[in-house]
Structure 1
Amino acid sequence: MRLRILVTSTALLCCGTAAATNGYFSHGYGMKAKGRGGTSMALTGDGFGGANNPATMVMSGNRLDLGLDLFDPERSASRSGFGPGLDGSIHSGRTLFAIPEFGYNRMVRNNLAFGVSVFGNGGMNTDYPGGQFNCGQGPANMLCGSGSLGVDLTQLIVAPTASYAITANQSIGIAPQFAVQRFSAKGLQAFAYTPGLSSDPANVTNRGPETSHGYGVRVGYFARLTPSFSVGGAYASKISMSRFSRYGGLFAEGGKFDIPENYSLGLAWTPVERLSVALDYERINYSGVQSVSNRSLVPYQLGANHGPGFGWHDVKVWKLGVEYASSDRWTWRAGLNHGSNPIQSADVTFNIVAPGVVTDHVTLGFTHTMRSGAELTMAYMHAFSKTVRGASILPVFMGGAPGGSERISMYQNSVGISYGWKF
């Protein structure tokens, strides 16, 4: 058991994640949820309660789930209005990411289950080529640094779960969240070398990958109110992470990059036999993390308390999913996922390296149950292209006012497969 968790955790950190879909969180956890728009609060049937609703695990039975999602984000940025040198467009390389997932659940009594969910919470990744711009001192990247430009953030959570059935139709659950994240940045020399911009110029960029750790908790509730109607909800506390000391001059509070608190509420309805419709609401409170939510233009240095951040707003997400069992062997899924855009036009410049702007997703999926009882599940997601435009704040660093126009865009595709054993 411990070996499986270690192997999966190592794979997640090695393969990483890219800019995810609801801000930088995934649109769903577990292939079944991913196929139905991310809905999971009021439905049972896999080992990912530690990522979704821990209370559902006692209703899911003995099972083991292993999955792999291939994620393809397409990111681009452009600038105009300044003339030769500063104007141009770029497209991020490294567009395919393999994201493993692992879920396990064991019924120790009819009303008590223990398990674990291991999953990539989300992340950000960009890798833009350098040398296409000139900020007055020779070839540079889009943010006036040298070499390629980008960031790489990976977040992994290991969530042991305990789920208890209060009655035959009601349950509660808890999942401690043990998190590890890895970050690196490159090509941000202009932010380090501009006098007075950073509180720690030596720890802004090109310091290599660094990891940080933290812990929090997720709690959940699930109830079957009638044979055809169920409800559920979950709350996850903010995970206070240790500092990225190598990037203490970039992130606010000396390199703090916490994982924000979030909560979800959902319901599921079975209007006719074999058909289920689910609706979830999720809120991700990025405003509780200074390095993510602080505005780009504030009267403080990079890395300081209250220092500049990405300016992200809280994200509100609506998820709608449909699941239909056409036979005992085949179950089909579809879903829609709409989240608010966390990035505003005034913060476009900083978000060139983190363009988490997509808002609308469509998903499809299915499960084939084999004669042995094992399940093969697949899920597909497309996030439609979204663009945010705003005035560049680069002139501010030279004593001017925002000017010109910058644009960041992204769309995404993913396809995943998982195998589930029942025992």
Structure 2
Amino acid sequence: MMPKTRTTLTLALAALPLTAQATNGYFMHGSSVKAQGMAGVSFALAHDSVKAASNPASLIALGSQYDMGLTWFKPERDAAIGGNGFGLDGHYDGNAERDFWMPEAGFARMHNDRLAYGLAVYGNGGMNTSYKRTPFAAFGSSGRGGVDLSQVFLTGSLAYKLNERHSLGLGVTYVYQRFSAEGIQSFAGMSSQPDAVSNNGDDSSRGWGLKLGWQGRVTDSLSLGASWSSRIHTDEFDRYSGLFAEQGGFDVPESYGLGFAWKLDPRWTLAGDWERIEYSEVRSVGNPLSMAAPLGADQGAGFGWDDIDVYKLGVIFQVSPRLTLRAGVSHAEQPIPASQTFLNILAPGVIQDHASLGASWQFRPQQTLTVSYTRALEETRKGKNSIAAAFGGGETDLTMSQDIVGVAWQYRY
């Protein structure tokens, strides 16, 4: 396949609806297959042109290459309600849709010895729940219940080599979001726009943001990295302006982090990241569920999510010049307070721990195949004072686990 054809295919992927499942909140634990094999560790590494979007400074270390991949998700999400006075008690299986696919693509190119550029198309986050019967039927809702948030990110990046040890990167990100909700008609009575709460089909929004990155080799064996992604202000979801705060607002939160990569010997590398995700700054995500303001208002109810810190640790073992093995674990703080589990029946992003394995096989001089497997360990968030008396009281417990398998192909030239 000629370079022009590959680039066209990469751009075409931007039109695909990419649905992710909540991992670190609703952000992906790793946006490329190589990174997924290390539980997402990436800030001080140069995995591939897709993950370069998380730290554009890494483009300098990549050289020129094309990448394409596909990730399969199988999530298990469940909710249980007990002690409710309005008849909501029961176990609710949110897995009417079980299998999700996420493509990725990118390229990186050296313009000269000091300047590199690249483009990446990937999914960074999203959420899906699909209940065959809505958990809110006792309130007057009907049919299936759940939400579907799909996101695709397109990041164009530049990297500049300051000297033999340090590089800087700048990225511009375009995000396309698609959202739908069904089976929550009963919340219309709490809304400033009752007709824009549920069962309005798909709606979309768009926005732009910035990324900055640095990578530096501070000693012969130790490299460090830092990355910052701005909050992305997006258009409102007009069809759901009575559901989300700020008349349908759903911005992408700001995130930033630090990483290290320590080459223990020629074959072993130990690497780790710390990442901060500012969920609470987006009102539709961070505002708690309350009746102080109607749904859709500037201070309307949200999912009540907290900001989180994510800690990742991984290893790389170079078995031979052609075979590389990876493994990693990560731990995230819990974004959903125990008091906010009720509305999060729709968005049970309670996962905290991941364990990952990965491998890359260079089957031809210029081509490499990568595979990864991640287990998002089952997590249950038990509610505490989670259902207000106005909704009949009681508690909501949320449970989620995931299996994630990825495969990717890389061509270097």
Q: 1:267-346 alignment to 2 at 5 Å?
A: 267-346=260-339
Q: CA deviation at 1:5?
A: 3.0
Q: CA deviation at 1:19?
A: 2.4
User: What is residue 409 of structure 1 aligned with on the other side?
Assistant: 399
* Aligned length, in residue pairs: 406
| SS of residue paired to 1:167 | coil
Is 1:3 aligned to 2:8, yes or no? Answer: yes
User: What is residue 60 of structure 1 aligned with on the other side?
Assistant: 62
TM-score (norm 2): 0.95
* RMSD of aligned Cα (Å): 1.6
Distance 1:343 1:268, change over 3 A: same
User: What is residue 88 of structure 2 aligned with on the other side?
Assistant: 86
TM-score (norm 1): 0.93
User: What is residue 169 of structure 1 aligned with on the other side?
Assistant: 165
Q: Answer whether contact 1:50 1:159 (CA < 8 A) is retained.
A: no
> Structure 1 regions of 5+ residues with no counterpart?
136-142
User: What is residue 30 of structure 2 aligned with on the other side?
Assistant: 28
Find 1:231's aligned residue among 216, 224, 229: 224
| SS of residue paired to 1:3 | helix
| SS of residue paired to 2:162 | strand
| SS of residue paired to 1:403 | coil
Q: 1:17-416 alignment to 2 at 5 Å?
A: 17-82=19-84, 85-92=87-94, 93-130=96-133, 135=138, 144-192=140-188, 194=189, 197-390=190-383, 391-393=385-387, 395-397=389-391, 403-416=393-406
| SS of residue paired to 1:370 | strand
The one-letter code matched in structure 1 to 2:115 is L
The one-letter code matched in structure 2 to 1:305 is D
Q: CA deviation at 1:372?
A: 2.6
Q: CA deviation at 1:82?
A: 3.4
> Structure 2 regions of 5+ residues with no counterpart?
none
Identity of matched residues, %: 42
Q: CA deviation at 1:407?
A: 1.0
More divergent stretch after superposition (205-214 vs 77-86): 77-86
Q: CA deviation at 1:90?
A: 1.3
In 2: Cα distance, 1:4 partner to 1:122 partner: 22
In 2: Cα distance, 1:132 partner to 1:223 partner: 51
The one-letter code matched in structure 1 to 2:13 is T
| SS of residue paired to 1:301 | coil
Q: Answer whether contact 1:145 1:188 (CA < 8 A) is retained.
A: yes
In 2: Cα distance, 1:131 partner to 1:157 partner: 31
In 2: Cα distance, 1:271 partner to 1:262 partner: 29
Deviation per CA, 1:267-317: give whole Å up to 9, x if none: 010111111000100000011100000011151110001110000000110
Q: Answer whether contact 2:20 2:124 (CA < 8 A) is retained.
A: no
Deviation per CA, 1:85-134: give whole Å up to 9, x if none: 42111111211100001121011101111110111111010000127876
Q: Answer whether contact 2:288 2:301 (CA < 8 A) is retained.
A: yes
Distance 1:215 1:134, change over 3 A: closer
The one-letter code matched in structure 2 to 1:152 is D
Q: CA deviation at 1:248?
A: 0.4
The one-letter code matched in structure 2 to 1:117 is A
Q: CA deviation at 1:367?
A: 0.3
The one-letter code matched in structure 1 to 2:297 is A
The one-letter code matched in structure 1 to 2:169 is G
In 2: Cα distance, 1:63 partner to 1:133 partner: 50
Q: CA deviation at 1:83?
A: 7.0
In 2: Cα distance, 1:94 partner to 1:64 partner: 32
Deviation per CA, 1:148-207: give whole Å up to 9, x if none: 000000111100010110001110001101111000000011101x3xx10000100000
The list of structure 1 runs, each at least 4 consecutive aligned residues, that deviate by more than 3 angstroms after superposition, is: 82-85, 131-134
Q: CA deviation at 1:51?
A: 2.7
| SS of residue paired to 2:364 | coil
Distance 1:134 1:239, change over 3 A: closer
Distance 1:64 1:388, change over 3 A: same
Q: CA deviation at 1:84?
A: 9.1
Q: Answer whether contact 1:23 1:356 (CA < 8 A) is retained.
A: yes
Q: Answer whether contact 2:341 2:397 (CA < 8 A) is retained.
A: yes
In 1: Cα distance, 2:380 partner to 2:354 partner: 15
In 2: Cα distance, 1:370 partner to 1:226 partner: 32
In 2: Cα distance, 1:346 partner to 1:204 partner: 23
Q: CA deviation at 1:250?
A: 0.3
In 2: Cα distance, 1:230 partner to 1:323 partner: 14
